[in-house]
A and B are shown apart, each in its own frame.
Chain A
Amino acid sequence: MLIGSGPIVIGQGCEFDYSGTQACKALRAEGYRVVLLNSNPATIMTDPEFADRTYIEPITPEFIQKVLDLEKRRGEPVDAVLPTLGGQTGLNCAMEAHEQGILDSYDVELIGAKPEVIAKAEDRSLFKEAMIKIGLDVPVSGAAHSLDEAREVFEKVGLPCCVRSAYTLGGEGGGFCETLEDFERVVSRGLKQSRIYEVLIEESLYGWKEFELEVIRDRNDNVLVVCSIENLDPMGVHTGDSITVAPAQTLTDREYQQMRNAAKAIMREIGVDTGGSNVQFAVNPKTGRQTVIEMNPRVSRSSALASKATGYPIAKIAAKLAVGYTLDELPNDITRTTPASFEPVIDYCVVKMPRWTFEKFPEADETLSPQMKSVGEGMAIGRTFKEAFQKCIRSMEIQRAGYGLDKNDRWLAAHRRSMEEVAVGAEPASTVGLEGGSADRVVLASRAGEAPPDVDESSATHWPVEDKVLHDKLKNPCQGRPYYIRYAFKRGWTIDEVHELTGIDRWFLDQMAELIEFESTLIANEDQIRSAAEYGGVGIGASLLQQARRLGYSDLQLHRALTIRENQSEVFEKNENGRCYKLVDTCAAEFEAATPYYYSTFEEPSIHIDHGRQIERVDDELRVSTDPHVIVLGGGPNRIGQGIEFDYCCVHAADEARRMGFRTVMVNSNPETVSTDYDTSDVLFFEPLTHEDVMRIVRSIASRGQIHGLIVQFGGQTPLNLAEGLRRAGAPIIGTPPASIDLAEDRDEFQKILKSLDLLQPPNGMASDIREARRIASELGYPVLIRPSYVLGGRAMQMCNNEDDLDQYVRKALEATDRAEAAVRGQRLLVDKFILDATEIDVDAVADYRHPDDPKGECVICGVMEHIEEAGIHSGDSACALPPHSLSASMLKEIERQTKMLALRLGVCGLMNVQFAVAGDLVYVLEVNPRASRTVPFVSKTTGVPWAKVATAVMLGRSLRDVLWERGIGRSPRPIMIAIKAPVFPFSKFAGVDAVLGPEMRSTGEVMGIDDSFGLAYAKAMIATGLSLPLFGNALVSVNDPDKPRVIPIASELRELGFKLFSTIGTHRVLKNAGIDSVIVSKQAGAPEGFLLDLINCGVMDLLINTPVHYGAAWEEGRWRAAAAARGVPLITTLAGAEAAVQAIRAMKKQSRSKVLGVKALQDYAVGMR
């Protein structure tokens, strides 16, 4: 039995789908029967073909028991549980099951790591004891189980110090303390969040260098270090929030071997029998003192990174070691001729950067700390650090083209301005200025990611950036720090000065400084370089251009730096001397690699003398086969709104294309994913998903082979943003044409389409100032939804209940908007009528129209999902039910009809998602996305049909009719189970952030609950999110005025179910009038009634039903919600959510929970279907 890691949360991303999927494959290949438990439907591992028995059920000891029990009753009892591949969640859950005696009672063994091992590695004091025993250096520290104990430890450790809590993931509940006040606050929080109510207080290693070793051990006690990783950000920033580099760059062999010896000793002492572990070290940069920080006795985020960085499949090997293999018995899959019992060496540099989404949590503290805050990561490979660093920046989907020299570069803008002032008779109109090149390029650039363009430099509004700003930004680790370091160097700060403030090793700082110095050379010689680029030739210009390439500069940066004329925008594409692809081969070319896993770089040619002739040749290792290629573009770094669901679709696409006989090519930059596993596709390019990087791949393959097409509709917004540019550059995009994709996003055009089809849209208007916004809003009637016109999706969108909300929003929006963006696009605000009491519907469909209004094509509905929360809550943040739980048959039909009309008109070929709002008999079209949606994996699981594969076959030219027929799927497939998808939020990581749901997506992951009824499925989904609904206790009811009438039945039902009700004054009055008793609580401290915030904070409340009047933690109600999120109290912020919760509680109370909530494997549902 394998235990997955459940929903994607901060600190636990899709790397565990990657490791779990590898493990499933590896174990089944060895003939083991694999039983899988994971609550996350968007994972590849939960596809029914990856395990013999797939349970999408909550990951709790209770459910482990249910699964073990069912398997035993079926006559195929589970023999062992492998808990080391499902992250901290899987490990903790297995430990709990062990402690409760569940595993023993079913005679099940824990393999990979024994309970004692897990305890020794995870329990901070046991771990420290063990380290001291084997003579390793550990920080001065002590454990505490109460605030008093903590104060005792404090005497010994002093300030500054660091607090961590035991058994948490992503450093949750930890913190750095500089004052006694900090200390008490962090300790109290840490104690609460620890599973065993324990914190470790430790000597501060703030500013020390941080390293990680990925270690693997087999039953013969062979220990290998797969990869060393050096954190660019020193100690004090969680490694998940650090820029990290592989291999370690600033250690001598002597120091590295000392670390390696320590890691080996730790593996042995802790007793990890088999499998992978991660060991972290800190090194004092002044003395070289090495200290052990921690170890994870399991596959981790870093091991996924190490696997991708080296080509060594840690999870796969770990799974095989767990069942008894030794390392020398296993082959190295990359070379195929050598064994896995070696240490990979790499002849390139790997840089990983974290991806944050602070723009979604404007109230959150952006300072980086030992508590992880990033939601995803990107990785890049280059021959040098500088190249990899720049490639990684442009992989991050933050609208940066590299390290500086892009449109957000304040220095360059100022430099250009000063040049223009000096130049007489310059041609300002024909050159690219700060605000962008050709209109197309601007559109592409501004669509290149959801993050606002100034996300990383909002404090640098003008050049020169003030010293104070630089000082603060360098001293306090934050997401934009590398850019501020650049500005500091531009201002003439020395490496030593920057080192003093940042603690970043001088070697890394000099690498950055080298790039910055090169910028000056570049700009000083711009005429020569431009002429070399335009006319070719040799000389200084050509050699500088070559040098720029080798330093990782992108076309976009060169364009901007060299003020290339618009109509020659393609000059750089023709001047790519030295471009080549190199292999990731685990062995630095010592052996030939069988696996085509590539990265791009620029290299110097060598000269070959052959019969007196001299030929220059660049060593390009790309092997192109004669088969037609299908290129799948992945989704890049995970972020909110763009996550594992899209990787799921990309993996399916590659799989199906390969099955159909194409040579499949995957392009992606996310190291956590299954898609970047070298055996997911035939060819893997670990590359940034930008126009130029993708076009380079396209040109390289096309010049030597044949490209059947590029699939852009599965990777989410990232590849979609590239589609039109790629098409124009000649890349064959297959599936729904980019023009149709754009059409759906073009407001005016889309409105026309809806009109012509006689479909409804919520009334709306466009405002360019506050007065106009007010006028439109009052015409439409409140509440309204408002957002800046250029922003896609739900970003920066807000619901306004009244004019005050509106004013506040508009003022903030106008302040914050990037000026450059506004100049090009116009500063306009979109105001939509908010349809009250509407039910939101999500529809996924697949179609095979070869052009708009193609009479030969058809559209099939994959699934119609009914949202639990009403329209207005971002669809990604709303729970949803499949099949719909309240739609009438005729309404369902109508929705299907409208979906099909839209698919036909847009000429959808592949997948499509439509969002509707249903109010009474009226159906409004909210949004159409002619691409794979976030819900595809969920719908696929619920219907038992791999829709992304169906869509791929259709896009590759097959008719939908044939594809469905072959798979035995009817014209209107129905769900084979009752399923609920529920979101999971990161609010507990962002202290003080209002946890209310709204139009902006903020969930990081999702779970699926399956059962026989809506109520039970919803209850399971809630358990799976980790916020189990209470069956009794104290419930707060406090709702806004529009919701007051509808809250009465909910409150009365809660009373009937035995809850004690609490309410705020307004709600109290309404309840009282309806004859429902409730205890009144105060919104203010010091009132005679209980102060609500205190009641929440001391754990009196078991359930909060609070629909918002105001948004944000600046309001008292926002603080209630933040407190509930921090304490893990179930919080419901919509009435629809409350209704569903009440149904679920009632269903669970009917009988005792364990009797009611059964488990059933996906494979059994599938049998039922046939």
Chain B
Amino acid sequence: MIMTRCALGLEDGTVFVGRGFGATGTASGEVVFNTAMAGYQEILTDPSYCGQIVTMTAPLIGNYGVNREDIESQGQHLSGFVVRELSRVYSNQRATDDLATYLKAAGIIGLVGIDTRALTKRLREHGALRGVISTEVSEPKELVERANAISRMTGQNLAKQVSPERETTWSSDGDQDGLTVIAIDCGIKRNILSQLASAGCSVRVVPGDTSAKTILDRRPDGVLVGNGPGDPAAVTETVAMLRDLIGEVPIFGICLGHQMLALALGAETYKLKFGHHGANHPVLNLDTGRVEITSQNHGFAVDKDSLERVGGRATHMNLYDDSLEGFVCPGKRLFAVQYHPEAAPGPHDSKYLFNSFVELMTRST
């Protein structure tokens, strides 16, 4: 495994030099850390990471290789992947290939051998930073300059980049009398769709810029608006569409969908310092008083006060920083969570929400 030199330069003047794996070249993005200890393949294929360079805090990555099942979308959308140590071999009965080959095939640059904990602390202290990862540029100064030149995450409509062009059918496994759900894909994870299917729904997946009318014309039992990358406030088309859907059909929002629903209701979103990316965040379900260990991946959050002003009611709260993790809007037949009940990767504590959605739809029909 001959590795080239590879470096990551941050906007604050910090440069980490290690070795490259996967693709070669130069890429840029917002640098974030993820604290999940397993599930790197799901992270690589999660479209929400579009425009981001992800570092894993778990130091030993690649141990179980990659396989055909643990994928969350067609491709890999992140700009770079940073690890402390890459395993030379992989060992798992389901594995089909190694991580480096996988990254290379998708054209993603990997950086290995740096102090990922130092990088994580940097991000914790300064917030998510813009960065450039490169196997070509080795001059630290130039990397930092380039990092400062890239655009900030706030205001970027990245959902558009990962949203599909055409509508597709995910599954029609649901029985004839089963519920039909339209899933709005701004970078939606496959496991959301497969959870819906497991709950007995027939699922059609539509692009993020589909009009409300097109959706309502199909007379779905419910609409799921899923996760995706970037600033929710920039995804104006989808927010506008949601505004028209609210009240017309039961809606379940997840992650970016949660944020866009809040915006559609008239609430505000803001950027978190370094976001929530991991599989261990405690979320308090305010209705049951129980704690769910959740899978999280978001850089923006919904402002709770602004949501309450427009009639929303908080249902879930993050116990780490008291940020809003879920809400309902009484009378509007909708609910949303900021975290990922579909997990992948992460705990399955919140899968009940898919059943709640089915119940909501059933009550409505």
Q: Which residues of A contact B (CB under 8 A)?
A: 220-222, 224, 228, 247-257, 260-261, 285-288, 326-328, 338-339, 341-349, 383-385, 495, 505-507, 510, 514, 582, 587-592, 603-610, 612, 614, 618-619
The answer to whether A253 and B290 touch (CB under 8 A), given A349-B60, A604-B18, is no
Query: Is A253's CB under 8 angstroms from B42's CB?
Result: yes
**Do residues B39 and A261 form an inter-chain contact, with CB atoms below 8 A?**
no
Evaluate contact between B64 and A251: CB separation under 8 angstroms: yes
Whether A589 lies near B124 (C-beta < 8 A) is yes
Which of B15, B85, B89 makes the CB contact (< 8 A) with A384?
Answer: B85
Taking CB atoms, residues of chain B closer than 8 Å to A612 are: 141
Contact A249 B60 (CB under 8 A): yes
Known contacts A251-B64, A510-B89, A588-B57; is A609 also within 8 Å of B117 by CB? Answer: no
| 8 Å CB contact of B282 from A247, A341, A582 | A341
Q: Which residue of A lies closest to B93 (CB)?
A: A288
Q: A342-B282, A588-B57, A604-B115 are in contact. Are A252 and B92 (CB under 8 A)?
A: yes
**Across the interface, which residues of A come within 8 angstroms of B284, CB to CB?**
328
Partner of A252 from the list B17, B38, B116 (CB cut-off 8 Å) is: B38
B346 contacts A383, C-beta separation under 8 Å: no
Partner of B13, one of A253, A288, A495, A608: A608
CB-CB < 8 A to A614: which residues of B? 140-141
Find out whether the CB atom of B115 lies under 8 angstroms from the CB atom of A607. no
Cβ contact within 8 Å between A252 and B41: yes
Contacts A507-B90, A606-B14, A619-B115 given; 19 further ones with Cβ under 8 A?
A252-B39, A252-B92, A326-B291, A339-B282, A341-B282, A342-B282, A342-B320, A343-B293, A347-B116, A384-B84, A505-B91, A588-B35, A588-B57, A590-B33, A590-B124, A590-B278, A603-B117, A603-B118, A608-B13
Partner of A607, one of B14, B94, B120, B293: B14
The chain B residue with its CB closest to the CB of A610 is: B13
The answer, yes or no, to whether B121 is at the interface (CB within 8 Å) is yes
Provide a sorted-by-A list of 29 A–B residue pairs whose CB atoms are within 8 angstroms: A222-B290, A250-B63, A251-B92, A253-B70, A253-B279, A253-B346, A257-B345, A260-B347, A260-B348, A287-B93, A327-B291, A342-B319, A343-B347, A383-B84, A383-B117, A384-B60, A495-B89, A507-B63, A510-B87, A510-B91, A588-B58, A589-B124, A603-B115, A604-B16, A604-B17, A607-B14, A609-B15, A609-B144, A612-B141
Alpha-carbon gap, A784 to B60, bound state (A): 57
By the criterion CB–CB under 8 Å, are A588 and B120 in contact?
yes
* Contact A507 B89, beta carbon cutoff 8 Å: yes
A252 touching B114, Cβ below 8 Å: no
Chain A residues with CB under 8 Å of B281's CB are: 342
CA distance A588 to B343 in the complex (A): 20
Residue numbers in B under 8 Å from A607 (CB-CB): 14-17, 140
Q: Please report the C-alpha to C-alpha distance between residue A228 and residue B37 in the assembled complex, in whole angstroms.
A: 10
Instruction: A222 to B285: give the CA distance in the assembly, Å.
Output: 11
Q: Which of A250, A592, A618 lies at the interface centre, i.e. has the most chain B CB atoms within 10 A of its CB?
A: A250
Q: Which residues of B contact A605 (CB under 8 A)?
A: 115
B78 interface residue per 8 A CB criterion: no
Query: Does B194 lie at the interface of the complex (its beta carbon under 8 Å from any beta carbon of A)?
Result: no
Q: Across the interface, do A256 and B38 meet the contact criterion of CB distance under 8 Å?
A: yes
Q: Say yes or no: is B107 at the interface (Cβ < 8 Å to chain A).
A: no
Minimum Cβ distance to chain B for residue A314 (Å): 16
- Bound form: Cα–Cα A285–B95 in Å: 12
Q: Which residues of A contact B289 (CB under 8 A)?
A: 220
Residue-wise, chain B 273-284 has the 8 Å CB interface mask toward A (1 for contact) of 000001111101
Which residues of chain B from 258 to 296 have a CB within 8 Å of any chain A CB?
A: 278-282, 284, 289-291, 293
A327 to B349, CA, bound (A): 15
Chain B residue total in the interface (Cβ 8 A): 64
Take A328-B319, A590-B278, A619-B121 as given contacts and tell me if A285 and B57 are in contact as well, using a CB distance cutoff of 8 Å: no
Chain A residues contacting B58 (CB-CB under 8 Å) are 247, 345-347, 588
Number of CB contacts from chain A to chain B under 8 A: 191
* A589: B residues at CB distance < 8 A: 33, 57, 117, 120-121, 124
Report the bound CA distance from A604 to B280 in whole Å: 28
Minimum CB–CB distance from A936 to chain B (whole Å) comes to: 40
A-chain residues with CB within 8 Å of residue B36 when the two chains form the complex? 253, 345
Which residues of chain B (90-126) have a CB below 8 Å from chain A? Answer: 90-94, 113-121, 124
Interface mask (B342-361 → A, CB under 8 Å = 1, otherwise 0): 01111110000000000000
* Nearest A residue (CB) for B85: A384
B210 at the interface (CB under 8 A from A): no
Partner of B290, one of A220, A250, A348, A590: A220
DSSP class of B's interface residues: helix, strand, loop or mixed? loop
Q: Does B175 contact A (CB under 8 A)?
A: no
Q: Is the CB of B278 within 8 A of A582?
A: no
Determine if B73 is an interface residue (Cβ-Cβ < 8 Å).
Answer: no
B69 at the interface (CB under 8 A from A): yes
Selected contact of A619 from candidates B117, B320, B346, B348, CB within 8 Å = B117
Nearest A residue (CB) for B42: A253
A592 to B273, CA, bound (A): 14
Do A328 and B282 touch across chains, with their CB atoms under 8 A apart?
Answer: yes
Contact B60 A385 (CB under 8 A): yes
In the complex, what residues of A have CB within 8 A of residue B116's CB?
A: 347
The yes or no answer to B309 lying at the interface (CB within 8 A) is no
Instruction: Flag if B118 contacts A619 (CB, 8 Å).
Output: yes
Report the separation of the CA atoms of residues A753 and B65 in the bound assembly, to the nearest whole angstrom: 66
Q: How far is the CA of A286 from the CA of B88 in the complex (A)?
A: 20
| Docked pose: A591 CA to B124 CA in angstroms | 7
A137 to B196 Cα, complex, angstroms: 26
Taking the closest CB of chain B, its distance from the CB of A1041, in whole angstroms, is: 63
Flag if A348 contacts B124 (CB, 8 Å).
no
Give which listed residue, A251, A327, A342, A345, contacts B57 with CB less than 8 A: A345
Contact between A582 and B117 (Cβ–Cβ < 8 Å)? yes
Given the known interface contacts A327-B291, A606-B118, A608-B14, the answer about A338 and B320 at a Cβ–Cβ threshold of 8 Å is yes
B120 and A347 within 8 A (CB): yes
Which residues in chain B, 123-170, are within 8 Å of chain A measured between CB atoms? 124, 140-141, 144
Is there an interface contact between B115 and A606, defined as CB atoms closer than 8 Å? yes
Q: State which of A224, A342, A349, A618 has its C-beta within 8 Å of the C-beta of B59.
A: A349
A347 to B36, CA, bound (A): 10
| Residue of B33, B118, B121 with most partner-chain A CB within 10 A | B118
Chain B residues near A383 (CB-CB < 8 A) = 59, 84-85, 117
Checking A253, A344, A349, A592 against B344 with a beta-carbon cut-off of 8 angstroms, the contacting residue is A253
Interface centre among B64, B87, B291 (most CB of A within 10 A): B291
Encode contact with A along B312-344: 1 for CB under 8 Å, 0 otherwise: 000000011000000000000000000000011
Residues of A within 8 A of B344 (CB): 253-254
Complex CA gap A220/B289 in Å reads: 8
- Complex alpha-carbon distance, A610 and B93, angstroms: 49
Contact A253 B345 (CB under 8 A): yes
CA–CA, A256 to B343, complex, Å?
12
Q: Does residue B67 face the partner (Cβ distance < 8 Å to A)?
A: yes
Chain A residues lying within 8 Å of B293, measured Cβ to Cβ, are 224, 342-343
Give the distance in Å from the alpha carbon of A248 to the alpha carbon of B38 in the complex: 9
Q: Find out whether the CB atom of B120 lies under 8 angstroms from the CB atom of A250.
A: no
Taking a contact as CB atoms under 8 Å apart, the answer to whether A507 and B93 are in contact is: no
Distance of A495 Cα from B280 Cα, bound (Å): 35
Chain A, residue nearest B64 (CB) = A252
Nearest opposing residue in chain B for A586, CB measure = B280
> Taking the nearest CB of chain A, how far is it from the CB of B21, in angstroms?
16
> Which residues of B are found within 8 Å of A345, using beta-carbon distances?
35-37, 57-58, 278-280
- A contact residues around B85 at 8 Å (CB): 383-384
* B238 vs chain A, min Cβ distance (A): 29
Which residues on the B side are within 8 Å of A349 (C-beta)?
A: 59-60
Chain A residues near B35: list those with CB within 8 A: 345, 347, 587-588, 590
Chain B residues whose C-beta falls within 8 Å of the C-beta of A343 in the assembled complex: 279-280, 293, 347
CB distance from B285 to the nearest CB of A (A): 10
CB distance from A494 to the nearest CB of B (A): 12
Q: CB-CB < 8 A to B69: which residues of A? A: 254
Which residues of A have CB within 8 Å of B278? Answer: 345, 590
When distances are taken between beta carbons in the complex, the residues of chain A under 8 Å from B91 are 250, 505-507, 510
Q: Does the CB pair B64–A261 fall under 8 Å? A: no
A257 with B343: CB separation less than 8 A: yes
